[in-house]
Structure 1
Amino acid sequence: MRYKVAPPARSLSFLADARAAIPLVPDDEADCCRAIQRTTDVPDRETAREYLTFLRALALLEESDRGYYRTRTALERDTLAAAFRENVFGAAEVLDVLGTDPRTADDAFEAVRNIVPRWERERRANWEPVWRTRVEHLLAWAAVFGAARHTDAGFEAP
């Protein structure tokens, strides 16, 4: 399963703090979102829910019928980069367009715009700015995980 969520990129320490806010014993989504908000500087429940889903995509959390719970997956860049590529929608495609020549977020968006699902295009008239921002977030997370390098000219393969 690939998760579509790609919240704004943060540091590995942020991910560690957000993950630590989630209990080892399953808890419901609302409580987990509140825990993320209390532990980090995430301002609202909707954003906390995005990070909760993103943590799940990175295999740092799991979900059972009783709620979300923290896993014991190592918080290592290589492990996170692999989970990011495999489980976050668009991550593999964005990473695949990176080479030795830096690419801007707009360049990367143009290279992967064909992966945007049709229903996403039809859901709102201004889908392109939303997906450009999503590609920016994907590139920034890739840099956090060491799967891309950010330079003054854009992003490139490490």
Structure 2
Amino acid sequence: MQFKLVPEPPAALAFVGEVQAAVPLVPGDEDDCCARIIRRTDVGPRDEARTWLTFLRALELATEGPSGFTRTRREPDPERLRRAFRERVYGAETVLEILADADDPLAAGTVFERFESEIPHYERRKYGARLEEVWSERVRRLLGWAVLLDLAERVDGRYRSA
């Protein structure tokens, strides 16, 4: 399973652990978990907390079961996060391949142009005229996470494979 929601990358990877710690060990519904994330971290508003909750699931730092969401008992180890990011976040591997295939560092807009054909058809219908706005932001966030996870480098406002 792959997840599409990607939060704005934080300044430091340690923040991932802070958000994970805000997710309860005892299952809670989405509203309760989002409220805890907002209360215990700098994340807000609720939509961004929901995005973080989904992203933590992608990184295998939280799970969703029949009783709600819980945090996993694994630390946000950078190597494990890199693997989960590549395998479980929709578009991450493709963005990294685009960077690896480029001879020179690429602007985020160029990465989006090369990624655009990977956008699922139902997403095209869902967003219509807003497709480029929504997905170019997602690609920009994927690039930011790739840098944070040491999978890519940012050089003069452009990106290249690490």
- What's the TM-score, normalizing by structure 1? 0.95
After TM superposition, give the deviation of residue 80 of structure 1 in Å.
0.5
Q: Kindly provide the CA deviation profile for residues 79-121 of structure 1, in whole angstroms up to 9, marking residues without a partner as x.
A: 1011011011111100111136211111111111101111211
- What is the aligned partner in structure 2 of residue 42 from structure 1? 43
Q: Kindly provide the CA deviation profile for residues 6-38 of structure 1, in whole angstroms up to 9, marking residues without a partner as x.
A: 121113122111100112221111111011001
Alpha-carbon distance in structure 2 between the residues aligned to 1:129 and 1:45: 21
Q: Kindly provide the CA deviation profile for residues 107-157 of structure 1, in whole angstroms up to 9, marking residues without a partner as x.
A: 111111101111211222121121111100000011111111111141111
What SS does structure 1 have at the residue aligned with 2:99?
coil
Say how many residue pairs are matched.
158
Q: Which sections of structure 2, spanning at least 5 residues, go unmatched?
A: none
Structural RMSD (CA): 1.2
- What is the aligned partner in structure 1 of residue 132 from structure 2? 128
Q: Which sections of structure 1, spanning at least 5 residues, go unmatched?
A: none
Do the aligned residues in 2 keep the contact of 1:78 with 1:146 (CA within 8 Å)?
no
Matching of residue 108 in structure 1 with residue 89 in structure 2: no
Alpha-carbon distance in structure 2 between the residues aligned to 1:26 and 1:153: 41
Alpha-carbon distance in structure 2 between the residues aligned to 1:62 and 1:83: 14
- What's the TM-score, normalizing by structure 2? 0.92
Alpha-carbon distance in structure 2 between the residues aligned to 1:12 and 1:27: 25
Moved over 6 A (4+): none
- What is the aligned partner in structure 1 of residue 87 from structure 2? 86
The residue type equivalent to 2:155 in the other structure is T
Alpha-carbon distance in structure 1 between the residues aligned to 2:157 and 2:5: 26
Matching of residue 28 in structure 1 with residue 29 in structure 2: yes
- What is the aligned partner in structure 1 of residue 19 from structure 2? 18
- What is the aligned partner in structure 2 of residue 149 from structure 1? 153
- What is the aligned partner in structure 1 of residue 71 from structure 2? 70
